[in-house]
Structure 1
Amino acid sequence: MKKKNNLFVSLMVGLSILAASNAIAGDLTMTAVCAGLPESSPSGKALKVFAQKVSEYSKGSVKVDTFFDADLGTLTACVEGMAQGTIDVVTTGTSYFSGYVPEIQVFELPFMFNSNEEARRTLDGAPGDAVRELFTPKGIVLLCYWESGLRHVTNSRAPIVTPADMKGLKIRTVVSVTQQKTWEAFGALPMAIDMTETFTALQQGTVDAQENTLAQIVTTKMYEVQKYMSLTGHAYTPMPFGISKTTWESLDDEQKAAVKKAAEEARDYQRSLDDISDRESVQFLKEQGILVEENPDKAAFAALASPVYGIFIKQTGSDKYFNMVRDFVAGLRK
C-alpha cells in the first residue's frame, strides 16, 4: 500500500510540473479522470471525446490528459483532489460527491425515477441547477451531469424477485448513508467498498452481491463472479462532471465556454452510449451465463423505501430538495 501511495504522489507531482511548464508556454494541460470506470465504458469513451472537443473548441490553448479507473487513486481521493485543486476534472458516482453536498443524494434515492429520460430531464432542469450551485463554495464547479443510469442487482446466491430474497444478502454499496439504509430497508447487509475493489470482494466471497448499471456490470466483467441478475431499476445514479474551482478560475472566458460546451456534448454522447448498452447488455449477459430475472416485484421494494426518504431529509436538514425533485418528476408524468 505504501509503495502504491508513493507512486500516486510521484504521479501527481509529475502532473503538476507538466501543468506548470505548459502554463509558462502559454497553454494549459488539465488532468481529467473517469474514476472507477475503465476506458472501454461509456463514460470512459466520453471522456476521450471531451478531451478532443476541449482542444478543438479552445483552439489548442487547453489540452486534457485523460485517466481512468484507479489511475489517480480511489474514487474518494479523486473527488478530494478536485476540491483541493490537485486534479482538474473528475466524473464519478454521485455518492462520492455527497461528503461535500449531501443534497446531491436526492437524485439516487430509491425509485425516484421510472426511466433514464425522467432523470435526465430533472438533472438538466431546475432541480439539477439548484444542486449544482451548492458545490461552488466547496471548491468544485459542476459543469453538468453525466450518468451511470438505472441500477440493478447481481448476486451469486439465488434469484431475487421479492425483498424476502434479499434477507441476509451481503451486498457491496457505495459510501453513502442513504444507500446503505436503502439496502437495510430491503433486508440485505450492506458493506461499503470502493468500486475499484468490488470485483475482488465478489471473487473472494467478502460480499455476495453488488448493484450497478448494465453498462458497468458489462464493462467491469461482474458476470465472471456473479450468477444472477434482477432488473430492479431501484435507483438512478448521475455522474456529476466537475472541475476544480481553482482550475476554472484560471481559465479565460473563451476557455471556460470551450470546456463547458465540450462537457455537455460529451455528456450527450455518453448518454447515447448508455442507451445502446441498455438495449444490448441483457442479451450479452444471458450469453455469458447470467440468469436474468426480468420482472422482480418492484412495487414490493418501493413500498419499503419511505424510511430512506426520511433519513435523507433528516441528514440534509430540509425537505426542500426532496420535494423539488418529486414535484418536478410529477410534472413530467402529467
Structure 2
Amino acid sequence: MKKSFAGVAAIATVAAIIGTGAFAQTVLRFSHTDNPGGSRQAAAEVFAEKVAEYTDGRYEVRIFPAGQLANDPKAIEQLILGGVDFTVSATGSYATHLPSLNLTAMPFLVDTYEQGWELYDNSGWLQGEFDKLPDVGFRVLATWEAGFRSFTTNEPLASPADAATMKMRVYPNDMIRWSMEAIGFQTVVMPITDVYLAIQQGTVNGQENPVDTINSLRFYEVAPYVTLTRHVYSPLPLTVSEATWQGFSPEDQDAVSKAAAEAAAFSRNLVRSSVDKQIADMEAAGATVSTPEIGPFREAVASVYDKAREVYGTEEVDGILADAAAIREALPAN
C-alpha cells in the first residue's frame, strides 16, 4: 500500500464545545463531482448525518461537490495518498488501480436495477475483486446508484450508423471506449467536469452517462438528443481511504459501514424512483428523448466481449459473465 501524507492529511481535528466540556472532533473530507442538487450530494448528506449520529458527533463528514477538490480520477488518487477520505464514482473509474474492474462496464450485463443490485452485492467474482482494493489504498464501503448509461448528443442518434460522424466523450475506461468505438464513434477522453463546455464548443458531439447524471449536470442543454440505450449498468461504489479506515477504531469502522449501507439504500431508492420525472423534466426543457431499437446496438458491441477476453483473460471475463447470466435468469425483467 502507498504511504499517505503524514498519516492522513485529509483528517483535521477541531475543538467542539458541548455544554461545559470539549471533545476532539475529526473532520473527514468527501469529494465527488455531482452538482449540489444531484443524487450523489443527497446521499452524501445522508451519509454525513449518519456518521455523525453513529459516532456521537466525534466525526464530521465535510462534503465537497462538483469537483471542488478534484475530478474523479484525481479524487481516487487522493484517496490513496490521503488527501481525501471518501469519494464516490463509477466502478470503471477505479479500474486505473485495479484493471479487472473495467469488466463491470461490459455492455448489457444486466437489464434491471434489481439485477444490478444483486450483481454488486452478491457476485462472487466482483466481491473478490473489491477485496483486493485495500492493498491498493482504498476500500469499497457500499454501492450507491446512478443507473444505466445512455447517450446525449447534439445530433439525432437512432442507430449505430448515426455514430460514424460523431465524436463521443468517454472517461478513462477501456471497456467504455471499446464499446463506443464498436458502435462507430470517434472517442475523446476527458474529465466529466469539462464535458458541458466541450459539447458547447463543438469539441465533441455528446457523452454517455446515466439519466441521473445527464439531468444533474444538464448535458441535455447542449446535447438535446437523449437516446435511452441503457447500454451499461453504472452504479457508484462509495470508497474510503485505507489509511483513514485503519485510523478508525473497530467500533467506528462499524459505524461508518452502517452509515454507508443506509446511504446506499437511500441512493438506490432515490435514483430509481426519480428517472421518469427527470426524463419528463428534460423533455419539458426542450430535450428530445427517444428509445431506439436496441438490437443493432447489441450487435455492434458483440465484439467487445472477445476483445475483453484477449486483454483480461477468458477466466476473468467468463467469471463475471456467468454471474450476470445467473442473475438475469433468477431475476428476469418484467
TM-score by length of 2: 0.90
Q: Which residue of 1 aligns with 2:153?
A: 155
Indicate whether 1:302 and 2:279 are aligned. no
Q: Which residue of 2 aligns with 1:196?
A: 193
- Listed one character per residue, the Cα deviations across residues 227-247 of structure 1 (whole Å, up to 9, x for unaligned) are 211110111112111101100
Whether the aligned pair in 1 keeps the contact of 2:140 and 2:239 (CA below 8 Å) is yes
Q: Which residue of 1 aligns with 2:12?
A: 19
Q: Which runs of 4+ in 1 moved over 6 A?
A: none
Whole-angstrom distance in 2 between the partners of 1:130 and 1:279? 34
Instruction: Report sequence identity in percent.
Output: 25
- Listed one character per residue, the Cα deviations across residues 117-167 of structure 1 (whole Å, up to 9, x for unaligned) are 211110011333222112111011111221321011111122x22111111
Paired positions, count:
318
Gap change, CA 1:77 and 1:333, over 3 Å in 2: closer
Whole-angstrom distance in 2 between the partners of 1:31 and 1:207? 33
Indicate whether 1:329 and 2:321 are aligned. no
Paired letter, 1:107: T
Whether the aligned pair in 2 keeps the contact of 1:27 and 1:62 (CA below 8 Å) is yes
SS at match of 2:68: coil
Task: Give, in angstroms, the shift of residue 189 of structure 1.
Answer: 0.8
Task: Name the stretch that deviates more: 181-190 or 296-305.
Answer: 296-305
Whole-angstrom distance in 2 between the partners of 1:140 and 1:84? 10
2:237 pairs with 231, 235, 240, which one? 240
Q: Which residue of 2 aligns with 1:315?
A: 311
Task: Give, in angstroms, the shift of residue 42 of structure 1.
Answer: 0.8
Paired letter, 1:250: G
Whether the aligned pair in 1 keeps the contact of 2:111 and 2:328 (CA below 8 Å) is no
- Listed one character per residue, the Cα deviations across residues 25-67 of structure 1 (whole Å, up to 9, x for unaligned) are 543221112x221121111100010000001011112221111
- Listed one character per residue, the Cα deviations across residues 148-202 of structure 1 (whole Å, up to 9, x for unaligned) are 21011111122x2211111121111111122111111000111111000100101
Whole-angstrom distance in 2 between the partners of 1:177 and 1:17? 31
Task: Give, in angstroms, the shift of residue 103 of structure 1.
Answer: 1.3
Gap change, CA 1:60 and 1:30, over 3 Å in 2: same
Paired letter, 1:319: T
Paired letter, 2:320: V
Q: Which residue of 1 aligns with 2:49?
A: 52
Gap change, CA 1:98 and 1:18, over 3 Å in 2: closer
Gap change, CA 1:290 and 1:60, over 3 Å in 2: same
Gap change, CA 1:92 and 1:323, over 3 Å in 2: same
Whether the aligned pair in 2 keeps the contact of 1:151 and 1:233 (CA below 8 Å) is yes
Whole-angstrom distance in 1 between the partners of 2:258 and 2:278? 30
Indicate whether 1:261 and 2:254 are aligned. no
Whether the aligned pair in 2 keeps the contact of 1:30 and 1:65 (CA below 8 Å) is yes
Gap change, CA 1:308 and 1:18, over 3 Å in 2: closer
Whole-angstrom distance in 2 between the partners of 1:223 and 1:141? 34
Whether the aligned pair in 1 keeps the contact of 2:109 and 2:321 (CA below 8 Å) is yes
Q: Which residue of 2 aligns with 1:130?
A: 128
Indicate whether 1:42 and 2:39 are aligned. yes
Whether the aligned pair in 1 keeps the contact of 2:39 and 2:267 (CA below 8 Å) is yes
Q: Which residue of 1 aligns with 2:218?
A: 221
TM-score by length of 1: 0.90
> Structure 2: which 5+ residue stretches go unaligned?
17-21, 330-334
Gap change, CA 1:286 and 1:179, over 3 Å in 2: same
